[in-house]
Structure 1
Amino acid sequence: MMSIRKPYLSGHFAPVVDEITGYDLAVRGTLPPELNGRYIRNGHNPRPGDVPGHWFRGSGMLHGIRLREGRAEWYRNRWVRTPAPAGAPLVREDGTADPTASIAGTHIVEHGGRLLALQEGNLPFEVTRELHTVGPYDFAGRLTTGMTAHPKRDPVTGELHFFGCSPFPPYLTYYVASAPGRITRAEVIPGAGPSFMHDFGLTEHHVVWLDLPVVFNPAERSGIPYRWSDSYAPRIGVLPRTGPAAVTWFDVRAGALLHVENAYQDARGRIVLEGPRFDRSSWESSWKWWVGAPGHPDTPLIGAVRHRWILDPVSGVSGEEELDELVTDFPTIDARRLGRPHRFGYAIAFPGGGLHEHAIVKYDGATGERRIAGLGPDRMPGEAVFVPAEDGTAEDDGYLLTMVGDLSGHASELLVLDARDITAAPLAVVRLPRRVPAGMHGSWFPDHT
């Protein structure tokens, strides 16, 4: 009965109980023949009998679709096999935490020829392109903390920037891995605190840290020991990518940020950071859903709205503004614009802010236009991943890939949208051989990488 009461274990969020493989998937429309590769999405899928205390604590499961030459060759789903399949913390014989005790259920990325399933409290887990688990990966012993689920690859240098955070000192460690995958920088960041840092920003010349007022609190028993604190001074830090670890901290209004859309320098040299911001009320309402607390809302996300912070390293002055009233999260851009000014951003919209159903939204920073692609009542899209067109010239010449499911939990599809006009009918719809629960983050892995 307990599992029925948890919103993240019912309907579209209910876990699947087994692993399957399906071949020669049915396609409506036409798959662009240049999409040769795999779309793999990660998410939390507790094993049968497991009832985690938090949505984010379910065992990681990968869902993959192989596209080649206009066909959808296969779908498969596999749990990431880790020492903590139920998300339970494991401890070594000496009493220290086991860095391999990951649920590996938040994201999947590729770097240095390795696919890494990520969950920020622990080491990443390497998997194959067929979704088989290889094992924990510590960058040849150089990674001595957990690894954020949101590393950033510089599109020019090929370097991977990431961090490990902890509720105990040292709170924040910054890493850089070369394009081949060797860690070349590992440095403790001074002045950081025990905040819930899920994501960060990277510009061409700076790293942007989010030291915001969701902080470690051992009284929180859900399995994610963090709570909002009115007494914690919210700050955003700016660190030059070269030179010593000297952070300039900017005081900002109290707010929380799970996911960064992008960070960049504007023409005046100021640091601009954009992403969906929670205030205290929206964070605590969303948290109720995430833990299945009494009185939780009907949707997993309440009140997060697109926001911009502007930080001036010369004057030390910061400013911020709300950009839109829609409730959104899971923001994405063309990864080739990461750390540089971008024109187009994409996000998943949730009911609220005048919208009554889930949708995909596209923002045009040049014109201020907002376009909304509704998918029909009781249908929920996942994160929309941008894949550039082979011969594209404009920033939005490409495709959006997203898994869409019925909120009733009956069926799922992979949609391929034209990113230039997301309101047009999908270019292709791949019918999946099973229901895919709502998940977290995913990536497109083209065959040539």
Structure 2
Amino acid sequence: MSTVQPPKPYLTGHYAPVADEHTVTALRVRGTLPPELTGRYFRNGHNPRPGVTPTHWFRGSGMIHGLRLRDGRAEWYRNRWVRTPAFEHDAPLMREDGSIDLAASVAGTHIIEHAGRLLALQEANLPFEVTPELDTVGAYDFGGKLTTAMTAHPKEDPVTGELHFFAYSPFPPHLIYYVASADGALIRSEVVEGAGPSLMHDFAITENHVVWLDLSVVFDPAEHSGIPYRWSDAYAPRIGVMPRTGPARTTWYEVEPGALLHVTNASEDAQGRITVEGPRYDRAAWETSWKWWVGAPGHPNTPLTGALGTRWTLDPATGKATEEAVDDLTTEFPTINDERLGRANRYGYAVAFPGAGLEEYALVKYDSATGARQLMPVGPGVMPGEAVFVPAEGGTAEDHGYLLTITSDIVRDTSELLVVDATDLSRDPIAVVELPRRVPGGIHGSWIPDTDLS
């Protein structure tokens, strides 16, 4: 007797994929859109084609949802799959001869702008360029100079405009560091010695250093979900600090076992100490969350369990790392005002998941100066996405700006773009843009002002 397998959790509820592409103009706005929000908000995420069930949440085809805002109007919404060889022809990442097809991307993790180009990112592959209307241009390799994959979490220095990124691999060389100039030329490529075969999804920069995360989730060919990494108690987790200029000599700091998918920020002080923050997983949190990501029996109801805000301080004088909990909420998708990226920041934002006393999803704001935490519930059955910070015109403080987040409401089967006053999450949204369809829960996005595409 055959048994009917239950649907994968990443194909249901907030994450149920949409089956087609739309363009809708003249969207209804409740409230008033700030006129300085003239540009595009794009958000990427995994959206398998109808009839396709990927073996892992992260393997679903990338679909970008976009809104065009201008002069207080919401001019259009559109959603488009990124048309990569993996989407169009089911091209596998691994060819029959054992080589990697860097163009066979799902391109479903992030979308950024750099030097006037829009790049859809997936860390095992080359970036894919798309137009401001979300048509796919094709794989982008920095004029032939990028011959490896590219992280989905590059960092653009707010002072120099340089784009810092990396490629990691389970096979030597495990880690390569890259820098692209503000005008988009690849100007540095260097192997980072001493790195291991860990899952290095994100990293950090400070004003003078690069921070590498060589932690407890490592390559394991016995993992058959299509993402061949597992937690290892035998692997010695470390955080590395490398100067941004000069030879790539990394100082490694031993840390407690853990995993970190997303860095909130990192900075250095006058004594040369490096501080790194982000939602940390212990083994139980990682393996429980992984059950949801692969649809294993006994998976939880939400994709994230037990990721707790954590701060590491790396002291070159002692060669030691200290670790402290920042909060007890389960959070992910941390963001800041990117004008403070790599420098000390006071405020951070994140999505809070049910658990640790919360029954529903919420946005959360942290104030590191006072230790205060402010929650913004979004309502029963509603989930907010990553909150992208946009500075207010003429703002004089770090939190003078707006948070942009797309919500998924599975009760009403709708979605909205919320524009929230980042100074005070207790206020009602400044504006709400009603979207013509429910947008599935996604991953990362960016606000791209018109001035960056001119």
Deviation at 1:5, TM superposition (A): 2.0
One-letter amino acid matched to 2:338:
A
Choose from 318, 343, 352 the match for 2:355: 352
C-alpha contact (below 8 Å) 2:93/2:105 kept by paired residues: no
Q: Which residue of 1 aligns with 2:69?
A: 67
Identical residues among aligned pairs (%) = 70
Choose from 265, 285, 303 the match for 1:300: 303
Choose from 181, 187, 196 the match for 2:190: 187
**In the alignment, structure 1 residue 19 sits paired with structure 2 residue 24:** no
Q: What does residue range 105-144 of structure 1 map to in structure 2 within 5 Å?
A: 105-144=108-147
Q: Which residue of 1 aligns with 2:379?
A: 376
Secondary structure of 1:84's partner?
helix
C-alpha contact (below 8 Å) 1:54/1:223 kept by paired residues: yes
One-letter amino acid matched to 1:52:
P
Choose from 370, 376, 393 the match for 1:367: 370
Q: What does residue range 86-165 of structure 1 map to in structure 2 within 5 Å?
A: 89-92=92-95, 94-165=97-168
**In the alignment, structure 1 residue 47 sits paired with structure 2 residue 49:** yes
- Unpaired segments of 5 or more residues in structure 1? none
CA distance in structure 2 between the partners assigned to 1:3 and 1:394 by the alignment: 52
One-letter amino acid matched to 1:78:
R
One-letter amino acid matched to 1:68:
R
Secondary structure of 1:52's partner?
coil
Deviation at 1:94, TM superposition (A): 4.8
Runs of 4 or more off by more than 3 Å in structure 1?
1-4, 90-95
CA distance in structure 2 between the partners assigned to 1:93 and 1:352 by the alignment: 44
TM-score by length of 2: 0.97
Deviation at 1:33, TM superposition (A): 1.1
TM-score by length of 1: 0.98
Q: Which moved more, 1:235-244 or 1:404-413?
A: 404-413
Distance 1:119 1:2, change over 3 A: farther
Deviation at 1:4, TM superposition (A): 4.9
**In the alignment, structure 1 residue 321 sits paired with structure 2 residue 321:** no
Distance 1:8 1:92, change over 3 A: closer
CA distance in structure 2 between the partners assigned to 1:92 and 1:365 by the alignment: 48
**In the alignment, structure 1 residue 258 sits paired with structure 2 residue 261:** yes
Q: Which residue of 2 aligns with 1:430?
A: 433
Deviation at 1:268, TM superposition (A): 2.5
One-letter amino acid matched to 2:402:
Y
Distance 1:37 1:428, change over 3 A: same
Deviation at 1:267, TM superposition (A): 3.5
Q: Which residue of 1 aligns with 2:336?
A: 333
Secondary structure of 1:101's partner?
coil
Distance 1:406 1:47, change over 3 A: same
Secondary structure of 2:267's partner?
strand
C-alpha contact (below 8 Å) 2:212/2:239 kept by paired residues: yes
Q: CA RMSD in A?
A: 1.3
Choose from 427, 441, 445 the match for 1:442: 445
Secondary structure of 1:129's partner?
coil
C-alpha contact (below 8 Å) 1:11/1:408 kept by paired residues: no
One-letter amino acid matched to 1:233:
A
Secondary structure of 1:85's partner?
helix
